[in-house]
Structure 1
Amino acid sequence: MRTFAVSALREPPFPARQHDATARVARESTEWALGHGLIANGHRLRRLRRADAAGLAGRACPEGPVDGLRLLTDLISWLFVMDDACDEDGLGDSPTRLAPTVAALLDVLDGHGERTDARATAAGPLGEALGDLCRRAHAAGGPVTLLRFVGEVREYLLALLWEAANREHGRAPGLAEYVQMRRHTGGVHPSFTLTELAAGALPGATHRTEPSLVALDLLAADLICWCNDVFSYGKEHLGQPDVHNLVAVIAAGRADGDESSALRAAADRFNEGLTAYLATEAALLATGDDGLRPALTARRNWVRATYDWSLGAARYA
């Protein structure tokens, strides 16, 4: 599948860079995951190391303070652990199984990461680690950043319940529905927030509501998720097929269900999205508004990072 992805996907025309502290942060983030009980020595530790969260974060955030890169890497590690619990360990097989975990994690978000004995008991390691992320986001970015981050993680958790309901009923979502929900199941928006925080470049409310930046934000999220879907499709369909992949959704919507045609259509969708992204970005740059540049840099870094990380990611081998 990697060979197909390399041949079919247009390489994002952005510079490829990586943070100098990536190797150090990889070690520290693994210790963080072990310390919070997210993983233990053995299969889950090997799985997290293969995911290479720091490699992805270091490309998405190639410069800036190490503490900011650590926070982003820890978020990505948490997302990988949560996704693997749902997709590979059976937690996301049905809403009734997943709901107690989501409820406990929502309680952590409602409390903005503040510790209580009852909350720690109910949420377990996932909740304790999420609370730590909230507290650090608040310390680094203040209440506005915390509220933005909490809202975006909440959307991610609720989208996981949507996935679980689809799995329970063997339901393949329609293309438009999938595209919308994939932006949330991919955890892209909280990752953008912590990337901007690490770069010291969080856009203000005026810029965040600028229609062109909103459109670019959605295009970037789509490109990241679709790139991931094409690279990961082979692994995800070695065992029991999962409908939550752009290729699978396109195939399910075709009368013949042809996989090769769906793969090509998914790649075409990425390539067309990249063309639209470049046009939207150029229009924003032409405004001469320097306040937009940090947000644009963060998004192009993420698009490039996802492509480069996917080329060598053992997670999809």
Structure 2
Amino acid sequence: MRLFAVSALREPPFPGRRHDSTDQVAGESVEWARSFGLIDTGQRLLRADAAGLAGRACPDGSVDRLRLLTDFITWLFVMDDACDEDGLGAAPTRLAPTVGALLDVLDRHGDPDGPPPIAAGPLGHALHDLCARTRAHDRPALLLRFVSQVQRYLLALLWEAANREHHRVPQVAEYVQMRRHTGGVHPSLTLTDLASDGLPGAGRRAHPALLTLDRLTVDLVCWCNDLFSYGKESRSDPDGHNLVTVIAREAGADEADALRAAAERFNRALAAYLVAEAELLDSGDERLRPALAARRNWVRATYDWSLVAARYA
């Protein structure tokens, strides 16, 4: 599938870079996951290479903030694998107790005087640690944004579980909307903004042009992931949560046509992204540049990481 993706996708026209401390952070993040009981041997996590993705998405900034981003991506990989490969997300009734406990953790917003309940388990205690470390940076608006985005991620996982239980493949428009949450990209962007000091104020955050760019960034990251991962997913237990699959079902297309249609959707979104980015750059607001750099880094990082990550081999 990598050969198809490379041949069909337009390569993001941004320079690829990597944080100098990526390798150091990789080992530290695996140990962090092990310390919370998220993993045993860590072999599956090593194949995922969370640090490789984070280091490309955040090539600058302090090591501790890169660690926070890497640990969160590590947490996402563990959560996704539990749902997709270990059966936690096979039905909403199976997933709901875990989601409820994690929402309880998020409601505490990393309060150092309010540790998570024992029932939260390893995933909950690790998530509390991530919230507490985000809280320690004393950016209340960013903390609230991060927490609300993770809440939407968790609720979207319940949507996926309901679809799996009923063997339901969603329509394309529904899938595109929900994929923006199941991918966990929004909270990852928030921590990248923190790591790169690219924190636009509330007024700029709500600007329609930046909201459009955020939406395009998330779509590009998720659709790139869908195309690179489709081969692995279609070989194992076919799942209705992939852009190729939903296009094939809705259009009545065969696999080859659906793959081409998904690639064309990515390429059109990349063209729209470049137009939206150019308009923001032309606005002359220099305070937006770090945020814009973070978003283009994520688009490029996902493409480059997908080329080498053993997760999709």
1:191 alignment partner AA: S
Superposition RMSD on alpha carbons, in Å? 1.1
Find out whether 1:271 has 2:267 as its counterpart.
yes
Give the Cα separation in 2 of the matches to 1:56 and 1:109.
25
Q: Quick one: structure 1 residues 233 and 119, their matched pair in 2 at CA, closer, same or farther if it must change by over 3 Å?
A: same
Residue 68 of structure 1 corresponds to 65
Q: Using the alignment, how far apart are the partners of 2:98 and 2:280 within structure 1?
A: 41
CA distance in 2, matches of 1:111, 1:233: 37
**Aligned 8 A contact 1:196 1:295 in 2:** yes
Residue 82 of structure 2 corresponds to residue 93 of structure 1? no
- Provide structure 2 residue ranges, at least 5 long, that are not aligned to the other structure: none
Q: Counterpart of 1:110 in structure 2: which amino acid?
A: D
Matches within 5 A, 1:1-317: 1-41=1-41, 45-114=42-111, 119-255=116-252, 257-317=253-313
- TM-score, length basis structure 1: 0.97
Q: Please give the TM-score of this superposition, normalised by the length of structure 2.
A: 0.98
Give 3-state SS (helix, strand or coil) of 2:120's partner.
helix
Work out the number of aligned pairs and report it: 313
Please state whether the residue corresponding to 2:81 is helix, strand or coil. helix
Counterpart residue identity of residue 60, structure 1:
A
Check conservation: 1:115, 1:131, Cα contact below 8 A. no
Separation in 2 of the partners of 1:158 and 1:141? 27
**Alignment deviations for residues 147-166 of structure 1 (CA, whole Å, 9 cap, x no partner):** 11100000000000000000
Q: Does the aligned pair in 2 maintain the 1:141–1:197 contact within 8 Å?
A: no
What is the one-letter code of the residue matched to 1:314? A
What is the DSSP-based 3-state SS (H/G/I as helix, E as strand, rest coil) of the residue aligned with 2:137?
helix
Contact 1:189 1:221 in 2 (8 A): yes
Cα offset, 1:113, TM superposition:
2.6
Q: 1:142 Cα deviation (Å)?
A: 2.5
CA contact (8 A) 1:192 1:298 kept: yes
- Moved runs in structure 1, 4+ residues, more than 6 A? 115-118
Q: Aligned-pair distance for 1:115?
A: 6.2
Deviation at 1:119, TM superposition (A): 3.4
Hey, what's the Cα distance between the residues in 2 that align with 1:246 and 1:253?
Answer: 11
- Displacement of 1:104 in angstroms is 0.1
SS, match of residue 40 in structure 1: coil
Residues 108 and 114 in structure 1, CA contact (< 8 A), matched pair in contact too: no
Contact kept, 8 Å, 1:229 with 1:245, in 2: the verdict is yes
| Counterparts of 2:296 and 2:281, CA distance in 1 | 13
* One-letter amino acid matched to 2:244: V
